[in-house]
Structure 1
Amino acid sequence: MRTRALLSVLIVLMLVFSTGCSTLLDGFASDSNQSAAEKKEKKKPKVKIPEELQHIPLPPAGKYAGDRYDWQKVKQELNDIPKDASAKEVLNRMYELAAEDYRPVIRYYQNFDPSTIEVERGPNGELRLKELPGQKKVNIAILLDASGSMAGKVDGGVKMKLAKKAVKDFASQMPEGSDVSLTVYGHKGSNNKKDQAKSCKGIEEVYSLGSYHEKKFNQALDQFKPTGWTPLAAAMEKTEDRLSSQTEAENIVYVVSDGKETCGGDPVKAAQALHESDMKAVVNIIGFDLDNEGQKALEAVAEAGGGEYSSVDDGASLDQYFAEERSRLYDAWADWANEHYDKASDLSSKKYDQLQKKSNEVYDITQRELRRYEKMTDYLENERGFEFDFLHEKVNKNFRYRIDVIQEWNFDVVDHLQDKVLYNADKIQDEVLEKSDKEQEKLY
């Protein structure tokens, strides 16, 4: 498990988020200092003013705000201010000329998404087994050959007994979120010619598609013995019918067989139909103790089904096959965790930097606005003859206070959002690693 250096700090921050910082982004119904010009902007959606900014003027953009600023024109406007104007009248005139509109900034922060990533469906690897809440579910359809030849012996024991054990172990270790079914074929009648028709129709889903339950699955495995012929094509056709409604799921078919089709069907065509259908199933074949002819036949079936063919000769190699499947899935979970861990880190870093950039931009705007106000009051004092004390005590202090409040709010709200970004990234990373560890432990 990876070390997370920020975990303890971020837990404390999480507690802070729920209390002291709640007003940074909250807004209230109106701003009592809105100008008449602002009230006329009825078509624009209203911005909820945060509590920290409710007691200062937040007028719309002034006539010469931003890139429209023209000092020569501003001076002409300042010349129209009467010498007996009140401090409020002077301030309002200055705002009408050069005030910056901070409502878009408020809206930006209020709409900022501090989340990092949505965890995608877990790794499929060779198995494509994993689903996470809200993602595609996964169906595992196991088709087990119960024809008479499965009563034969190989190193390690009887083929059918070994196959049942391997299937049982495999099904019991399916990751969370996967459904499993077990279909057996060739277990009816006998392998005599007179019973061929009966045996070829002997296809039965002994464990219906659903969540794995150990007792019920084991009971299903105990219901049949190796008996008759090999209706592989018909078994896949029945599986296609059973999965036909599962078009929104990942569908994987595993066939365990020791022989080629003996009932006159076309398993290549059936596998291709499964793979090319709306449910897009993948057909994997495990050939058990096959001769060259049988192996080639089943290789063609797997290829047509978009899956893989694997050959096993005894009980040990059959167990090894499923162990390798689990190993691939184990590695896939590690890759999945690493990918999502890095994605969360990269995205949180990007969003953190976006917020810092925005904060710097807002600070620069406030500083520019402040310099313009100072230049205007200097002009009023030096060129228009306004009293220094009047401008300093009743005008300058007011617009400087407004700028100070906006700057402080800007710093605080960005700190708050940046902390949330880091917290969310760490939370996602913890969940991903925990989920990966859980699924890897389940495989062994």
Structure 2
Amino acid sequence: MNYKRRIIFLVFSIFLITGCSSEPKEDTKAQEVAKSEQKEEESSEKAQGTDKTNEKEEGFDFNSLPVPSNLEEMMVYPVGPLASAEGIGDEGVKKALEAIPALSEEASDSELTSLFEHLYSLFKKEYEDPKAVMISGTVSAPGQEATSEVKAETFNIEVILDSSGSMAKQMDGKARMELAKASIKKFASSLPKEANISLRVYGHKGTGSDKDKSLSCSSNELVYPMQPYDKGGLSQALREFKPAGWTPLAQAITEAQKDLSQYKGDENKNIIYIVSDGIETCGGNPVAAAKSLKDSGIAPVVNIIGFDVAGKDQQQLQEIAKAAGGTYSNVKSQQQLRDEFFKTVEESLKWLNWKNNQELDTYEKYNNQSTNVRVITNNWQTNTTLEENKIMFSIIDLNNRGKITSEQKSKLLDMNESYYKTQRNSIEELQTVLINATDKEMNETLEEIDKIYKENNPDN
């Protein structure tokens, strides 16, 4: 019995031990399965960016773009979502700052830089490209419609009229002098009101006799001084002389040079008409006088109009025109005389008007361009100041929230101030460069205008 009981007890004990030991094994397996499922869930949450256990510490990403290192990068850097925010009190700004996690007291300089980059990305404003306002100077030739007004001081015409005795000869049934005076009146009345005209006569005193030669050869008078056309004044001047004596042509050219001496320079356009029906008879050298006129710096367009001349008279007048760098034409009627007066002036006025138009347009374009450059770069300066202030107040707010230490606040504020100081200096430099480029291109355009004008203007 004792043996049997011992056997039963042993078997029972074995079952008991087996039963007890098998129950913990089942629990361990369940735990392992649970842990495996939890790891899978955690891995899935991490993959989906929903790691709940680390959401506070790792849910915010500072991976913003680096702040621009130059103005070109600044223009293309994305506009921040809070660029138009009024300030720290803006709800969007509050939420953005609340979302920023606290930095550890041991945060590195690179972490501070990352925070600054993030703040910059929030508030960065839009910047207009100043190159959009830069223009290219273009110069086009004048068309038939060129009708700009000319300045009085830029367009000066002097008519030198032969009043020697031979101008009393008939042409078209009238005295040459009468025809010449009528043509001068018609011509002067058609000039732009801003143009100046003067009239000089020679040989209008004495007679053609030898005894009056000295008087006649010294008769050289500016009967209508350089001024805008005045109908009454010019008519009165034309009435004061008639065909009289000899022909002091050389002296008349010399005196005309003096008349126009105050109108030197590229800003003036000077035209001289010499109307004569004969050659020098007072012993002067009109060819030499014409050469002196050409070299004087007055740069006049010289038109010699022969009044029905031929032979040696015509030859001398042609030589005078050549020496003066001008043109010669021979007319045989009043209409031809009028045509010669108008031809040169019309062409000269067309090119002078073109030059004035082009210059005014150029000044306007480049002045506008300079203004636009200043407006854009000044707007840039305003934007940078707004950005800097928003970032500054954000840094202070983060410190007040306890998200950064006072030392970190100081470093970030220094970083902010240094960055925007460099940016403002770059903007000032850019403004200077663009304004200088504008001035340079304007001057080049003006030089091109002047070149075209001189190449195309009659007898320039």
Normalising by the residue count of structure 2, what TM-score does the alignment of the two structures yield? Answer: 0.49
1:360-408 CA distance string (max 9 Å, x none): x99xx9xxx9xxxxxxxxxxxxxxxx999xxxxxxxxxx9xxxxxxxxx
Q: What is the rounded CA distance, in whole Å, between the counterparts of 1:130 and 1:274 in structure 2?
A: 28
Q: 1:221 aligns with which of 234, 238, 254?
A: 238
Instruction: Please report how far the alpha carbon of residue 170 of structure 1 lies from its aligned counterpart in structure 2 after TM superposition.
Output: 1.4
Paired residue for 1:307? Answer: 326
| Gapped regions of structure 2 (runs ≥ 5) | 1-83, 89-106, 389-400, 404-415, 417-460
- Say whether the 8 Å CA contact 2:150–2:356 is kept in structure 1: no
SS at match of 2:160: strand
Moved more, 345-354 or 193-202: 345-354
Paired residue for 2:278? Answer: 259
Question: What is the aligned residue count?
Answer: 287
Q: What is the rounded CA distance, in whole Å, between the counterparts of 2:313 and 2:122 in structure 1?
A: 80
1:412-432 CA distance string (max 9 Å, x none): xxxxxxxxxxxxxxxxxxxxx
Q: What is the rounded CA distance, in whole Å, between the counterparts of 2:86 and 2:322 in structure 1?
A: 69
Distance 1:349 1:224, change over 3 A: closer
RMSD (Å) for aligned C-alpha atoms = 5.6
Higher relative contact order (CA 8 A, sep 6+): 1
Q: Is 2:332 aligned against 1:287?
A: no
Distance 1:342 1:202, change over 3 A: closer
Distance 1:181 1:100, change over 3 A: farther
Instruction: Please report how far the alpha carbon of residue 258 of structure 1 lies from its aligned counterpart in structure 2 after TM superposition.
Output: 0.7
Q: Is 2:237 aligned against 1:203?
A: no
| Gapped regions of structure 1 (runs ≥ 5) | 1-51, 57-72, 80-89, 370-385, 389-398, 400-444
What letter is aligned with 1:165?
A
Instruction: Please report how far the alpha carbon of residue 102 of structure 1 lies from its aligned counterpart in structure 2 after TM superposition.
Output: 9.7
- Say whether the 8 Å CA contact 1:254–1:286 is kept in structure 2: yes
Q: What is the rounded CA distance, in whole Å, between the counterparts of 1:358 and 1:74 in structure 2?
A: 35
Aligned 1:338-377 pairs, distance under 5 A = none
SS at match of 1:256: strand
Q: 1:231 aligns with which of 241, 245, 248?
A: 248
SS at match of 2:263: coil
Distance 1:261 1:342, change over 3 A: same
What letter is aligned with 1:212?
Y
Paired residue for 1:145? Answer: 162
Paired residue for 1:424? Answer: none
What letter is aligned with 1:235?
A
Structure with greater helix percent: 2
Distance 1:115 1:320, change over 3 A: farther
Aligned 1:5-404 pairs, distance under 5 A = 76-78=110-112, 94=116, 131-132=150-151, 137-155=154-172, 157-248=174-265, 249-329=268-348, 331-332=350-351
Q: What is the rounded CA distance, in whole Å, between the counterparts of 1:102 and 1:273 in structure 2?
A: 70
- Say whether the 8 Å CA contact 2:193–2:229 is kept in structure 1: no
Normalising by the residue count of structure 1, what TM-score does the alignment of the two structures yield? Answer: 0.50
Instruction: Please report how far the alpha carbon of residue 157 of structure 1 lies from its aligned counterpart in structure 2 after TM superposition.
Output: 2.1
Q: What is the rounded CA distance, in whole Å, between the counterparts of 1:289 and 1:335 in structure 2?
A: 35
Q: What is the rounded CA distance, in whole Å, between the counterparts of 2:208 and 2:86 in structure 1?
A: 88
- Say whether the 8 Å CA contact 1:117–1:347 is kept in structure 2: no
From the CA coordinates, give the structure whose radius of gyration is larger. Answer: 2
- Say whether the 8 Å CA contact 2:150–2:353 is kept in structure 1: no
Once the two structures are aligned, what percentage of the paired residues are identical?
35
Distance 1:190 1:250, change over 3 A: same
1:270-293 CA distance string (max 9 Å, x none): 111112113333322111100122
- Say whether the 8 Å CA contact 1:117–1:344 is kept in structure 2: no
What letter is aligned with 2:211?
K
Paired residue for 2:10? Answer: none
- Say whether the 8 Å CA contact 2:193–2:228 is kept in structure 1: no
Q: What is the rounded CA distance, in whole Å, between the counterparts of 1:167 and 1:311 in structure 2?
A: 16
Q: What is the rounded CA distance, in whole Å, between the counterparts of 2:192 and 2:135 in structure 1?
A: 26
Q: What is the rounded CA distance, in whole Å, between the counterparts of 1:197 and 1:54 in structure 2?
A: 93
Instruction: Please report how far the alpha carbon of residue 266 of structure 1 lies from its aligned counterpart in structure 2 after TM superposition.
Output: 0.3
Q: What is the rounded CA distance, in whole Å, between the counterparts of 2:108 and 2:169 in structure 1?
A: 100
